[in-house]
Each structure stands twice: as structure tokens, then as C-alpha cells.
Amino acid sequence: MASLVLTSFFVMLVMAVPIAHVVLGAAALGVIIGGKNGTIVAQQLFLGCNSFLLLAVPFFIISGDLAAKGKTSEKIVNVVNCFLGRLPGGLGVATVFASALFGAITGSSIACVVAIGALMMPKLLERNYPKVLVLGIITVAGTLGVMIPPSIPMLQQAVAMNLSAGEMFTAGFIPGIVTAAMMSVYVVYYASKHDIPREEEAMSWPERLHTLFGSFWALMFPVIVLGGIYSGLATPTEASVISVFYVLAVELFVYRSFRFRDMYNVMRQSTVSAATLTITVATAQVFVWYMTTAKLPDLIYGGITTYISSTWLLWVLLCVMFLIVGCFTNVTTVVVILGPLLVSVLNHYQIDLIHFGIIAIMLAQIGFVTPPFGLCLFTTMKIGPATMPEVVKGSWPFLGIMILATVLFILFPQLSLWLPNLVFRSH
């Protein structure tokens, strides 16, 4: 029975059926063929949405889109560029770190690619950066949006696997920053090798301070959101609501990039995106419930523990599986469906669930830039405009860096667990 459901899942996926319909259709097929009451599907759909923590997702999407469409992203880029612009490939390095910093506002890779890409791509091309390099930087640096907290996939993973959202957020800091640094080193190397000209003049310290103070309200966005969560003054859901009101106030009254009459058009698309993602998470709950009742976790546990003798072999298997699935579906499906099905296996091999969550998101992050369905690839193609071969060619070196970073954090789990251990587990 479970094999029929999985087959229908992959057939619909290959047919390019929307992912929420794929997940719900496969699960409903299993429920109907299994002779169970169809009302179970509606009950599980409701349970999939009935989470206080999950309420944070639509609010973070809305606040991130508002920041992307306003002047917040421009202010962040200006600050990063004034400190890093004089490096070889400094504008490219600034783009990478601006994406990382903007990820701390949006929690979304697509929002990062759209906001930072639309702003920086013309500037990079104007400074004679090769188009292939520019496409690679924009495409792959945007994926840092799911690594730097508050991250929407981290929230979804916390809900699906019953983990602490605070621990997930904290564990993502070092992997996100290290990955950004590794990408930046490559940009500096490429710029030095190909004689890409530096910025003509370094900004003076008074000019830098003027830029810094002019971007104060944009920089306070992640400070207020993450500070509220880590200080215990706000839950992630409460912080997400604060983020919406904060960015609205900043964009309406400080930067004046919007007017009240613009609000409907500005928020319409982000609200639709939030609703779409919520539906996907709800349908994933139905799928996970069916697979659990069909004893699939037990089958996975028995098969893996029988044939896999070490933790390292398990990591190889998990990496291959997540990379393949990530090429054909989105990050929500990867972390929300596969995560809960593997809990018993991870506990058997004594793999920390927070560490697994971070690695799973890093692997799903690679799926964002892997053909044939990498969402960041298609987004960059629209911004460019560029062809798929051009975007893929520019992304390959950075894709190798992301794989190297993932291997690094698999080999040294304390790199991702040190901060959560310090903040949450030291007492």
C-alpha cells in the first residue's frame, strides 16, 4: 500500500503537479484505498495548520516581502558595501554578505534573490564583473536566506519534528556565516585572478558612519526580532508579528517608500505566498500521518539499521537522498516530510536532531540551485534576464562550496551545536 502511495507521489511530481496537490493527493489515495474514513484527511489538514509556532511563517513572509519591496534592502547593501567594497571583488563580497544579512530579515531564499539581485546585478555588471560570475553570486548567495535565522524552513522543521525553534535558529548562525565567508573567499580569488577592478576610492570613516547611521532602522530589524526571541521577551510567533509592524512603520514613516494606498498591492503577493506555504505544510501533515500509520518509519528503521553499520554511512545515505529529493521538490517537502519519518533512525545512531535539522536545510539549500527544479535558478533567470545554461554555469563553483561547507558541518557537528549548547543547554 505504502509503495503505491509513494509511486503516485513521484509520478505526480514528475508531471509537475503543484506540490501541495501532490502531497495531499498521494496521502488521500492511501487513506481511501486503505478503507479509512475520509474525514481523517480533513482532520489532519486542520492539525497541520493548528500550531501557534507555525503562525510565525506567514508573518515573516509578509515582513520580508515588505522589506524587499521597500528601501530596507538598499540600506543594508549600502552598509555592507561601504566596509567591504575595497576588497578585490568587493562589490561581489558585499552582495554575498548583504544576502546573509537580508536573510536575517526575510527568512526566505527567493526574497533574497529578488531583493538583492534586482538591486546589485546592474551595479555588478556596470563594474565589469563577468555576467556568469554575477549570476552565480546572485543565485547562490540568495540561498543564505534559509540558513540565517529567522529561517522559515527552520520554523517548519521545528514544528514537524517537535524541536525548539530557538535552538534551530541559534544553530544556523555559524553555518550561515561560514558558508557566506567561503563564498566570499572564492569571489576574492576570482576577482584577483581575472583582474576585476576595485572600487576607485575607499570611503572615509565619516562617510561610513554617515551611511551606518542612515541605515540604522534597517539594521535594527534583525536586532529587534532576534533579540526579542533570544532574550525571552517574545516567542518566534510574537516576534514575527512585531517584525510586520516594525517594517511597516519604517517603510511608511521613515523611508517613505510606500503610501497607505499602496498597501493592498504590496501585501497581496506576499499574503498569497504565505497562504500557499501554509497549505503545503498542512498537506504534509496528512502525508506524514498516513506514512506513520502505514508503519513506514518502522520499515525505514529496520532497513537502515540492518544494512548500515556506522553513522558515517548513514550520513552518506541521507545526503544522497536529500540531494536527489531536493532537485525535484521544494525545501518544505524535504524538511517537513522526511524529517519526522527519520526520527527513530536518528535516535538509534545518536545523531542530534538539531544538528540533523541544520544539515537537512543545508542540503535542501543546495536543491534551490540544482536543476531541473531549483527555484533560485528560475528566479535569477527572470531578474537577469538570462538562460538556464548561463545561470547553471555561474552557480557550479558556488554549488561546490556549499557541498564542501555541508561536509564540514557533518564532520564537525559542534560547529553548529556550540551556540545552542551555550545558550539553551548550559544550565
pLDDT tens string 360-369: 888 887 877 8
Q: What tens digit of pLDDT does each residue of 233-267 get?
A: 888 889 889 989 999 999 999 998 888 887 888 78
Question: Structure pTM?
Answer: 0.82
DSSP states along 8-56: HHHHHHHTT--HHHHHHHHHHHHHHHTT--THHHHHHHHHHH--TGGGH
* Helix (H) and strand (E) counts in the chain: 23, 0
Cell of 124: 555588478
185 near 193, Cβ under 8 Å? no
Alpha helices (H) in 87-163, listed in sequence order: 90-106, 109-126, 131-141, 152-161
Q: What tens digit of pLDDT does each residue of 299-326 get?
A: 888 888 888 888 999 999 988 888 877 7
Cell of 237: 510567533
368 near 324, Cβ under 8 Å? no
| Predicted confidence (pLDDT) at residue 269 exceeds the cutoff of 90 | no
What is the reported pLDDT for 88? 86
| Predicted confidence (pLDDT) at residue 81 exceeds the cutoff of 70 | yes
| Predicted confidence (pLDDT) at residue 274 exceeds the cutoff of 90 | no
Question: What mean pLDDT value characterizes the chain?
Answer: 84
The average pLDDT across 42-58 equals 83
Q: What tens digit of pLDDT does each residue of 326-384 get?
A: 776 667 777 788 888 888 999 999 999 999 999 988 888 787 788 766 778 888 888 87
Alpha helices (H) in 371-413, listed in sequence order: 375-383, 388-411
Main-chain phi, psi angles of 386, to 5 degrees: -150, 165
Sequence-ordered list of residues with C-beta below 8 angstroms from that of 392, at least 6 positions apart, any chain? 371, 377
